Structure 1
């Protein structure tokens, strides 16, 4: 196995939650629209938690940064969600499946991480942690090969990609150059027909 691909070290960092992350704010609001505006969500059925996502803890865990380093010193980096619990899982559980392995074995590594986490999860936090490790592996392989990741997964399929933006102000997304907007719905089926009609 080439030392360029043999994993030597795995590092995980946590990032504190921030309600002001990003630059797309609703005019006149000091906090981020995604956290503190009325948006239909899994807790909308409980009036106490309907008004703000922050009231029930969305984003409370924070984020993580994963670095995977090979024996030749190349480092793959990725960011993800899950905060300290995901960081613990990656460092204390998943590390055994990474250090000493060939980073090119991304399918095998993903399968081992997923299967080994089955006793405590098939979705949610474990999958967020696995996702971040997976992204760091792809970043690492691309850096070692001096190729963009799209070349590693089949090559270029088009010259340009168009994007839409999720946000509360469709006119603002248009001004930023996006072709479309996905507007979050403030009301849901929890409010009955009246809520759905709003």
Structure 2
């Protein structure tokens, strides 16, 4: 079997980043035996840059055996070393790598999680997003067992986006704490709450807020400071009694290595379409496991990204909970893009059972919502 073509499809999503369209980016790897693998390369902004990267990297693998995933990954990865191996280009690598696994699964008749060691669990827990106590209560009523309640101190009183890093005023601190208390009251003690402050604070402000949040009983406190400064992040983690996590702004196992080795966080949040794909995410999880860290993957992307994440989450022993954007926050056509979208049952995802990823693109829907730029 040989790879004959690599195609990319840009599809309108719900996301706009500073008025820049940020489409979903789907990859198809074609073979001479008619088997087509499907992958997701979505990141934002810069969808057209990622698409061009997929096309360029695709030239490197034409004529190759799609079963040689580790070799092909490294061939693409090291072809990028002069321009950097993160951001848009590693998203392109991720999309192709996922598609290769889909091919192997289809040919062997196995779901991907069986090809990487088999499942450690038969369902995957997820958390959804909420912006207020009412939304938290509604999600809990639907059976969602974990909820990310966004932190109102992320905004100024006039609603403008905060520049970062910054300190926090006493008023903002009180408003944020009261907001989280109300969210906790809305769901009771049976639902896990977490929050994400999006790297908005100085180290001292992040510590101050984190210590106030202890009473809420959070599952995690996400991105209190930018992860580039590992020492600052480690200082926050050591100073607060809530679990600290980062990961969406880190790429490949090399980007996670120092973060994990320094034990600068309590858990990590790799994104399967940002880290390099399925096997790279598994390697990152294995590194974290040796430090007794759990993994909660970043996943505010398409239903295909969710599907790929489910295969990894099924396999890794230190999986905690998967991010999942509730349909209220997403494009109405998200699930329609797949023939077999992820299935939710009482706050958990059912594992895909069909070979490969277990789904296909619905090309009629792709054409209907094709990104025009």
Stretches of 4+ moved more than 6 A in 1?
none
1:15 correspondence with 2:11: yes
The number of aligned residues is 158
- Which residue does 2:113 correspond to in 1? 150
1:133 correspondence with 2:101: no
Unaligned runs of at least 5 residues, structure 2? 155-164, 177-373
Query: Which is worse superposed, 94-103 or 8-17?
Result: 8-17
SS across alignment from 1:97 = helix
For residues 22 and 123 of structure 2, the distance between their equivalents in structure 1, rounded to whole angstroms, comes to 35
For residues 17 and 162 of structure 1, the distance between their equivalents in structure 2, rounded to whole angstroms, comes to 24
- Which residue does 1:84 correspond to in 2? 48
For residues 126 and 196 of structure 1, the distance between their equivalents in structure 2, rounded to whole angstroms, comes to 39
- Which residue does 2:137 correspond to in 1? 171
For residues 173 and 107 of structure 2, the distance between their equivalents in structure 1, rounded to whole angstroms, comes to 51
Q: Quote the offset at 1:159 in angstroms.
A: 2.1
- Which residue does 2:22 correspond to in 1? 61
Cα gap change, 1:187 to 1:118, in 2 (>3 Å): farther
Unaligned runs of at least 5 residues, structure 1? 20-34, 36-53
1:26-105 to 2 correspondences below 5 Å:
54=17, 56-57=18-19, 60-82=21-43, 83-91=47-55, 93-105=56-68
TM-score w.r.t. the length of structure 1 is 0.71
TM-score w.r.t. the length of structure 2 is 0.39
For residues 41 and 129 of structure 2, the distance between their equivalents in structure 1, rounded to whole angstroms, comes to 19
Query: Which is worse superposed, 180-189 or 124-133?
Result: 180-189
Cα gap change, 1:171 to 1:124, in 2 (>3 Å): same
Q: Quote the offset at 1:94 in angstroms.
A: 0.5
SS across alignment from 1:81 = coil
Contact 2:41 2:50 in 1 (8 A): no
- Which residue does 2:153 correspond to in 1? 187
Contact 2:127 2:148 in 1 (8 A): yes
For residues 99 and 169 of structure 2, the distance between their equivalents in structure 1, rounded to whole angstroms, comes to 45
Of residues 45, 68, 75, the one that matches 1:112 is 75
Provide the alpha-carbon RMSD of the alignment. Answer: 2.1
Q: Quote the offset at 1:133 in angstroms.
A: 1.0
Which structure is higher in RCO with an 8 Å CA cutoff and minimum separation 6?
Answer: 1
For residues 173 and 90 of structure 2, the distance between their equivalents in structure 1, rounded to whole angstroms, comes to 32
For residues 110 and 193 of structure 1, the distance between their equivalents in structure 2, rounded to whole angstroms, comes to 47
